[in-house]
Amino acid sequence: MNPLVQPDPGLFIWTIVTFLGLLWALYHDGSVVMAESFRTAQFWPLVAHHRITTTGLLGSMVDFLLSQPVREGERAHGLRNLLIAPYGPAAIAFAERFGVDVYTEFNMSELSVPLFAGPNPGVAGTCGVPAPGVCLRLVDAQDIEVPEQAVGELVLRMDQPWTISHGYHHDAAATARAWRNGWFHTGDLFRRDPSGHYHFVDRAADSIRRRGENISAFEVESALRQHASIAEVAVVGVAAIGGSEQEVLAVLTLRPGAAFDPVQLIDFLRPRLPHFMLPRYLRLVADFPRTPTQKIEKYRLRAAGITADSWDREAAGIVVQGERLERRG
């Protein structure tokens, strides 16, 4: 098998990813291909040239590939296994269109893939079910287990102690916070469905508190990604102009040739989100600030706050009340 790995040279995280990918390939008597970066137009040619059988895709990579025109013989490739996170409708559509077995997982650098599902689990939004040797709980702020379908922080232990981090180097305080009450706290909010699948809700740090309501940035982002004009989106909580409460800011990039109509976008979200989750502010950017691993740096978006080019729903006369959306003037 030939896993396709994307490098971030000089970084510790890239060293770990490369090392694990290399070990995995060697275990299966395979080889590793390291691409400089992900480019939509080069993905399938790269798969064909190197006869890649296994790789992984993150977030909008799947959307970019699905947006390409259907071509004759597009299922005639050697790719057999694909890890996609998050696993949503786009991942299911990808498996059906290209004839690939899709898997998904949840993992952190401190863990050893405690959640895994596939091939083709068919449960949109799942991060998987517990792997053997993993003990999981979803808990509230007091570490009391929450009921099924309720949202709680994922905490866990491993049967094999060497499969989980024991602490942070030279940071006893961070270690104590993570391992309080004898469970490793991931800082991620999940819910468990009746079939035992775990669904990611949000990072605890990304949860937005607005007028007594807890808002999942992840859920708002998922709704926005359904719009045909949106390429990527990041949702953060920001201090409202003239107020101390948080408001929802959605920062967006557009697909090539798409137009930005903020009023139409709010109308699009209305049946898809509760009224209190509708963004007050929208901002269009050419690209996002990113980590070397291409994750969006949300802390920079929060720090920037409401910029001069941010569109304000309330200033535009659109007032949200309950299930009603009214435009003034």
pLDDT tens profile 80-104 = 999 998 898 889 999 999 999 999 9
The pLDDT of residue 7: 37
Find the range with the poorest average confidence among 39-53, 234-248, 260-274.
Answer: 234-248
Give percent above pLDDT 70 in the chain.
Answer: 88
Tokens for 4, please give them: 């396709």
Tokens for 286, please give them: 């050419």
**Type of residue at 237:** G
* Close Cβ partners of 71 (under 8 Å, ≥ 6 residues apart): none
Beta bridge partners of 94: none
Give percent above pLDDT 90 in the chain.
Answer: 61
The H or E element that residue 187 is part of is strand 184-192
Tokens for 260, please give them: 């930005």
8 Å CB contact between 230 and 254 = yes
pLDDT top residue among 24 and 297: 297
Asked if omega into 3 is within 30° of 0 (cis), the reply is no
pTM value > 0.75? no
| Phi/psi at 103 (5° precision) | -120, 165
The H or E element that residue 281 is part of is strand 281-284
Q: Please tell me the distance from the alpha carbon of residue 216 to that of residue 193, in angstroms, as a whole number.
A: 18
Domains defined along the chain, listed by start: 3-203 (3.40.50.12780), 207-327 (3.30.300.30)
Short-list 107, 100, 130, CA closest to 117? 130
Tokens for 38, please give them: 């992900």
As a whole number, the mean pLDDT across the chain is: 86
**Where does the pLDDT of residue 161 fall: very low under 50, low under 70, confident under 90, or very high at 90 and above?**
confident
pLDDT tens profile 176-220 = 999 999 999 999 999 999 999 999 988 887 778 777 777 888 889
Q: Mean per-residue pLDDT for 233-258? A: 85
The pLDDT of residue 214: 79
Q: What is the CA radius of gyration of the chain?
A: 21
Short-list 139, 142, 163, CA closest to 151? 139
